[in-house]
Amino acid sequence: MVQVEPITTARVLRGPFDYLRPDGVEVGARLVVPFGHRDVVGVVTGLASESVHELVAPRRVIEPSLPAELVELAFWIAREYCSTPARALSLLMPAPGMRAKTALYAQATGAAAGEPSLNERQRALLASLPRFCGPDTAALRRLEARGLAALAPRVVRRAPEHLQVGARRPVPSLTAAQGAAVAAVLSAGPGEQLLLHGVTGSGKTEVYLRAAAEVLARGQTVMILVPEIGLTPQIVSRFLNRFGDTVAVLHSKLSAGERYDEWIRLRTGEARICVGPRSAVLSPMTDLGLVVVDEEHDASYKHEGDPRYDARLVAERRAHAGVLVAGSATPRPESVSRLRRLRLAQRVDGQGLPPIEVVDMREADGLLHPRTHEALVDARKAIVLLNRRGWSNFLTCRSCGRAWECPNCDVTLVLHRAQGGLACHHCGHRERVPARCDACGSVSIGRHGTGTERLADELATGHQVLRLDADTRDPAAMLARFEATPRAVLVGTQMVAKGHDFPDVDLGVVVDADSTLRFPDFRAEERTFALVAQLAGRAGRGAGGGRVLVQTLDPDAAAIRFAAHHDSDGFLRGELERRELLRYPPFSTLIRVVCSSDARDAPGAALAAAEALRARLGSTAMGPAPLFRLRGRERSQVVVKAGDRHAAIAQVGAAVDEVAALREHRAASFSVDVDPQ
């Protein structure tokens, strides 16, 4: 018999369930099984010789199967992130409903030499073989009937197209520091975890490439994780240029067919390097010898759905028999405290990091300081970071004071002028720009704040101005345009600081650099330092050098002061001291449980569920505390701060399961976030 975990979303329904074992089925096989009054897809999670139940047979087997080690990984994810095995297993599946694409493939049989009746067109057709059939299939069929060609179905790979960003470069010579880093990676033992702490432009990618080549030569496979695939086209291009078709790229922007074919290539071993964002950590690879987490400080490695896994921790789990390398110029304090550090302290071209000037905005009028305007006029290429998209942050009526708010969330709507509407950045609600106030009828409507759309419009006077934010449809194409333009300004949100390498950028500007310091988050200092340091790293990579301007209302803030001196060691030392004093990660584990309920159908249900949860967790829990309404749902949260990670996860998981099973809380939903970002 087989033990099958049905792929369902219900938290209270836990498998596995027993079924008869079809011939040849092993752990990881996917089956369609009868479940209640319907058929569902399930995954075989175990084998057994007997069962106390009367068993039925699965309907059918679905190919391909999952590797058995991924099934084990799914159970670990479910335990570690207080989710269910079914929800974790659902993340491992290939694109649903897809199968291999086939087309007719024609080959010459070699019998044409003794066939004098062939005309010139038929001989040309035979000379073009072998190849896939096209509009000339009928003519090839006639040749097949005469025994001159053979036609048969063959799998056609739906290969993704990748925009080439960055010039093809010859393989560079390694610096002494790079060589030492490569040697350290290749000599590391199974399961060892390393932190490659290198300044921007120090050649971390070349270290990954050299190490990957050696691991492939040993017969093992390689996984390369990047924060966001559309924002890091250069590293993808470098791996494709170096290793060709042995690289598979997995990400959500691929079509279902492309994603399925890349998944199959990794499953069969045809592709031995996987490059992708956080979801690629769940790719069906075996015998991993090297797992790289590039820009490991980036918060996008945290999954937002259930289970809320952290791809950096999952990567550590996947590298149990290989080596994990986490790379960053601004590593997280958690990584610095746990991993053996390799240093790349200098840029590969020998140039120093660009000087950073902190511009005090306390007495300035307008969004940009006059010094910044002057620098932009003189710059050949500039990158300007403003971490707010849209035209204006919100609208108000100047007569009665009404603010335009989202009907589903407790937030104001953002003006997007190019789209001609107001938008909620949380739920996606959109509405037209108002001509007058619905409350008092006034036509005097104020627009407050500036986002990237408005800033780009204001700068479009001398240079060509390009914009890169979440409204940009094709980020890779926008980066390619910026690379190809002799003089340009790239304006954007934090997306412009994501590891781009453009040697002719001679100016970087951070606008409102202290805005992230105002967030009620213990990571606010870390994120501010990383944002400023990463943006600064985009400038001065060419022979002409560069400089950086950082506009702020708080020039004495520690994060900005350390970033201005490129002093990551000093910042990390102070940050770790502060966190140890306050018992924040890495000196504790945080777990957040958000209880939510429909604001109209079940008002108060979220708070009641949170209170019941808090009562079961005891003194380790804080709350419940209200959160703003999101997507029409009321929310309350309970936060646990604990020293014993595994005990806290087990306690929270048991408490959530207990409360979720109670009838009086059936209107509430529960979301558990271990290590919330």
241: which DSSP letter?
A: H
Q: Is residue 669, in this structure, part of any structural domain at all?
A: yes
Residue 227 pLDDT > 70, yes or no?
yes
DSSP-based three-state secondary structure for 626: strand
Per-residue pLDDT of 173-213, as tens digits, reads 999 999 999 999 999 999 999 999 999 989 999 999 999 99
Whose structure tokens read 């400089």?
Answer: 547
* Same domain for 291 and 207: yes
At 168, is the pLDDT very low, low, confident or very high (cuts 50, 70, 90)? low
Give dist(CA 85, CA 264) in Å, integer.
23
The continuous run of DSSP H or E covering 414 comes out as strand 414-416
**Cross-strand bridge partners of residue 431:** 422
Residue 544 pLDDT > 90, yes or no?
no
pLDDT score for 231: 64
Domains held by the chain: number: 5
Q: Is residue 184, in this structure, part of any structural domain at all?
A: yes
Q: Helices (DSSP H) in 274-412: which residue ranges?
A: 311-318, 333-338, 370-378
Which CATH number is 656's domain given? 3.30.70.1710
pLDDT score for 113: 66
Give dist(CA 184, CA 134) in Å, integer.
52
Question: What would the two tokens of residue 490 be?
Answer: 């790239």
User: If you average pLDDT over residues 604-626, what whole number do you get?
Assistant: 88
Cis previous bond, 64, omega within 30:
yes
For the chain, give the mean pLDDT. 91
Q: How far apart are the first and last CA of the chain?
A: 42
Residue type, 243: F
pLDDT score for 117: 79
pLDDT score for 620: 82
pLDDT score for 365: 84
pTM of the model: 0.90
* Same domain for 184 and 144: no
Q: Is residue 438, in this structure, part of any structural domain at all?
A: no
Per-residue pLDDT of 565-584, as tens digits, reads 999 999 999 999 999 999 99
* Same domain for 188 and 80: no
Full domain range(s) for residue 520:
356-389+452-582
CB atoms within 10 A of CB 110: 9
Give yes or no for a contact between 447 and 403, defined as CB atoms under 8 angstroms apart.
no
Q: Is residue 466, in this structure, part of any structural domain at all?
A: yes
Give dist(CA 587, CA 644) in Å, integer.
10
Beta strands at 2-6 and 17-19: parallel, antiparallel or unpaired: antiparallel
User: If you average pLDDT over residues 432-447, what whole number do you get?
Assistant: 92
pLDDT score for 618: 82
> Who's near 173: CB < 8 A, 6+ residues apart?
none
Q: Helices (DSSP H) in 319-406: which residue ranges?
A: 333-338, 370-378
> Angle at the Cα of 460 (from 459 to 465), degrees rounded to 5?
95
* Same domain for 549 and 462: yes
Question: What would the two tokens of residue 169 be?
Answer: 């470069």
DSSP-based three-state secondary structure for 665: helix
Q: Is residue 167, in this structure, part of any structural domain at all?
A: no
pLDDT score for 196: 97
Which CATH number is 506's domain given? 3.40.50.300
Secondary structure (DSSP) of 474-492 = -HHHHHHHHHH-SSEEEEE
DSSP-based three-state secondary structure for 61: strand
Give yes or no for a contact between 267 and 196, defined as CB atoms under 8 angstroms apart.
no
Q: Is residue 351, in this structure, part of any structural domain at all?
A: no
At 542, is the pLDDT very low, low, confident or very high (cuts 50, 70, 90)? confident
CB atoms within 10 A of CB 223: 25
Q: Could you give the percent of the chain with pLDDT greater than 70?
A: 98
* Same domain for 269 and 221: yes
**Cross-strand bridge partners of residue 547:** 507
Residue type, 369: H
Give dist(CA 356, CA 388) in Å, integer.
22
Q: Could you give the percent of the chain with pLDDT greater than 90?
A: 69
User: If you average pLDDT over residues 529-539, what whole number do you get?
Assistant: 92
Residue 90 pLDDT > 90, yes or no?
yes
> Who's near 625: CB < 8 A, 6+ residues apart?
636, 637, 638, 639
DSSP-based three-state secondary structure for 650: helix
Residue 144 pLDDT > 80, yes or no?
yes
Per-residue pLDDT of 296-344, as tens digits, reads 999 999 999 899 999 999 999 999 999 999 999 999 999 999 999 999 9
Give dist(CA 652, CA 648) in Å, integer.
6
Give dist(CA 397, CA 446) in Å, integer.
6
Domain stop point among 557, 582, 607? 582
Task: Write down how long the chain is.
Answer: 677
Q: Is residue 423, in this structure, part of any structural domain at all?
A: no
* Same domain for 17 and 82: yes
User: If you average pLDDT over residues 155-168, what whole number do you get?
Assistant: 79
pLDDT score for 297: 95
**Cross-strand bridge partners of residue 381:** 488
Measured in whole angstroms, the distance separating CA 349 from the mean position of its chain's CA atoms is 30
Residue 167 pLDDT > 60, yes or no?
no
Q: Is residue 96, in this structure, part of any structural domain at all?
A: no
Which CATH number is 38's domain given? 3.40.1440.60
pLDDT score for 448: 93
* Same domain for 63 and 192: no
Question: What would the two tokens of residue 142 be?
Answer: 């006639």
Give dist(CA 335, CA 50) in Å, integer.
46
- Of 225-239, 361-375, 396-410, 491-505, least confident by mean pLDDT is 225-239
Secondary structure (DSSP) of 582-617 = HT-TTSSEEEEEEEEEETTTSTTHHHHHHHHHHHHH
501: which DSSP letter?
A: -
Residue 111 pLDDT > 80, yes or no?
no
CB atoms within 10 A of CB 670: 21
User: If you average pLDDT over residues 354-369, what whole number do you get?
Assistant: 91
Cis previous bond, 16, omega within 30:
yes
* Same domain for 483 and 595: no
Give dist(CA 613, CA 654) in Å, integer.
10
pLDDT score for 229: 77
What are the φ/ψ torsions at residue 424 (nearest 5 degrees)? -95, 125
Question: What would the two tokens of residue 420 be?
Answer: 């001609």
pLDDT score for 211: 97
pLDDT score for 75: 96
Distances (CA, A) of 349 to 177, 179, 352, 540: 13, 15, 9, 11
* Same domain for 382 and 333: no
* Same domain for 464 and 490: yes
pLDDT score for 114: 64
pLDDT score for 540: 84
Nearest to 272 by CA among 292, 294, 293, 243: 243
Give dist(CA 663, CA 171) in Å, integer.
64
Give dist(CA 151, CA 138) in Å, integer.
11
* Same domain for 459 and 316: no
Nearest to 371 by CA among 553, 549, 556: 549
Residue type, 444: S
Residue 412 pLDDT > 90, yes or no?
yes
Give dist(CA 615, CA 238) in Å, integer.
54
* Same domain for 320 and 205: yes
Give dist(CA 638, CA 630) in Å, integer.
17
